[in-house]
Amino acid sequence: MTEGGKLIIFSAPSGSGKTTIVKHLLNQPELNLAFSISATSRPRRGKEKNGVNYYFMSVSQFKRHIKDGDFLEWEEVYRDNFYGTLKSEVERLWAEGKNVIFDIDVSGGLRIKKKFPEKTLAVFVKPPSVDELKIRLKKRSTESDDKINMRIAKASVELATAPQFDKIIKNYDLDVALDEAHKLVADFVGVEMPPKED
């Protein structure tokens, strides 16, 4: 892979608010960020679009990409439910002169950090509590209780990996978390934070 800009990883259990934080950062032009779209073998949900939300592929397509070494990282999150980061996606964004931001699961985030230790900022977003996570996931009402329980069980394991990340942001108050994330990333990419409007 050709070397390019910086890599910024946000990982967290489902429902911690990492996607909200990443969207906020993408709207800060001075950070020069572009979102790395993950590949997945899971079916689309709702209005999701290929090449916008994810690169959707069949299980056999995904396995072929694994065999060909096309992924920077990948994982079978649930049975036949693969997620991964294509090398070509990161190279595409680097070619545009961007810093690349990821919203990916814990093990994927740590794998990228291992491959590019000098260029990567890995941030773990911590929810107030596992109970609060459960409430947030239920509010989404996109998944069955079984799926939610599966995510909660996974969350406990993921929370144990937090110390392996460069920084931990506690998302107890979203505005504070957004501000903290903005400062962290601005520091890492070496830009001044714009003055706050009153």
111-169 pLDDT tens trace: 999 999 999 999 999 988 888 888 888 887 777 888 888 888 888 889 999 999 999 99
pLDDT in the model for residue 197: 67
* Cα–Cα distance for residue pair 121/166, rounded to 1 Å: 6
Residue 2 has a pLDDT of: 66
Nearest residue to 88 via CA among 50, 26, 42, 39: 39
Q: Read off the pTM.
A: 0.88
C-alpha 22/C-alpha 100 separation (Å) is 11
Tell me if 72 sits within 8 A of 7, measured CB to CB. no
Q: What is the pLDDT of residue 146?
A: 87
How far lies 52's CA from each of 23, 49, 55, 102, in Å? 13, 5, 7, 14
pLDDT of residue 59: 97
pLDDT of residue 144: 84
- In the chain the domains, ranked by start, together with CATH numbers, are 7-187 (3.40.50.300)
d(CA 107, CA 8): 15
Query: In whole angstroms, what is the distance from residue 31 CA to residue 147 CA?
Result: 35
Query: Whole-angstrom Cα distance, residue 3 to residue 58?
Result: 30
Cα–Cα distance, 94 to 192 (Å, whole number)? 21
